[in-house]
Amino acid sequence: MVPGKKRLYMALFPSGVSNNEERKYHWAFLTGPKLEPGSQIPVPGSQYHAKNLPTGWIYEEKKLEDIRTMPNLLARIVIAKIKNEQRLNGLFRNIPIVNDNPTWRCRSWIENSLTEMIKDGQVVGTSQLNWTVIEDFAREYVRMKTDAGRYQTQQALEGPRPTWDLLESKEIVT
């Protein structure tokens, strides 16, 4: 086993939709290192998601300077240890984008990606890939942080965002 495997995170962002609980968040995957230095040192990584443009949905992947402090990021949830990052990237690139179904959303792409990771069996090691478990936990975690006032100060929004490790059942960043 290779120590220090990169981590796969579920990331939640506000979607701009406030009157529909299912559409309240934008969902994305982030990848980053297992060990993160102090809060003043950037933690590079990548983001993978289905993005809605006026012309329709597209797949987007991009390198990030710091996966802990992205604009509008609400929370990160560790869901897996990455075994084969190249294979994972290929898997993401091959998940279909659907533009002819009005009920299809970024969360549809996330759920389809998780299903393919389970089928593949080689992209991640220790993991929690059950979409219902991830979605329910992530929604509740962000709700608890919101209720506690975590997103109300500029200082809180400039530092690392709340992060929970679903594999070890512990909070990494409050």
138 CB-near residues (< 8 Å, 6+ apart) = 10, 12, 25, 75, 77
Structure tokens at 54: 């006026």
Per cent of the chain over pLDDT 70 is: 98
**In this predicted structure, what is the pLDDT of residue 4?**
77
More confident residue, 123 or 22: 123
Extents of the domains making up the chain: 7-32+43-173
Residue 94 above 60 pLDDT?
Answer: yes
User: Is this model's pTM higher than 0.85 or not?
Assistant: yes
**In this predicted structure, what is the pLDDT of residue 122?**
97
Give, in degrees to the nearest 5, the angle at Cα 87 between 134 and 64.
65
pLDDT band at 3 (very low <50, low <70, confident <90, very high): low
Helix or strand run (H / E) with residue 134: helix 131-147
How confident is the model over 14-73, as pLDDT tens digits? 998 988 988 999 999 999 999 998 778 899 999 999 999 999 999 999 999 999 999 999
Specify the amino acid at residue 94. Answer: N
What is the average per-residue pLDDT within 122-130?
A: 98
**In this predicted structure, what is the pLDDT of residue 2?**
52
pLDDT band at 84 (very low <50, low <70, confident <90, very high): very high
Contact (Cβ atoms closer than 8 angstroms) between residue 32 and residue 43 = yes
Region of 132 please: left (phi>0), alpha (psi -120 to 50) or beta: alpha
What is the average per-residue pLDDT within 141-154?
A: 94
Exposed/middle/buried for 137, CB within 10 Å: 0-12, 13-18, 19+?
A: middle
Cα 117 from chain centre = 15
- φ, ψ of residue 68 to 5 degrees: the values are -90, -20
pLDDT band at 1 (very low <50, low <70, confident <90, very high): very low
What is the average per-residue pLDDT within 147-162?
A: 90
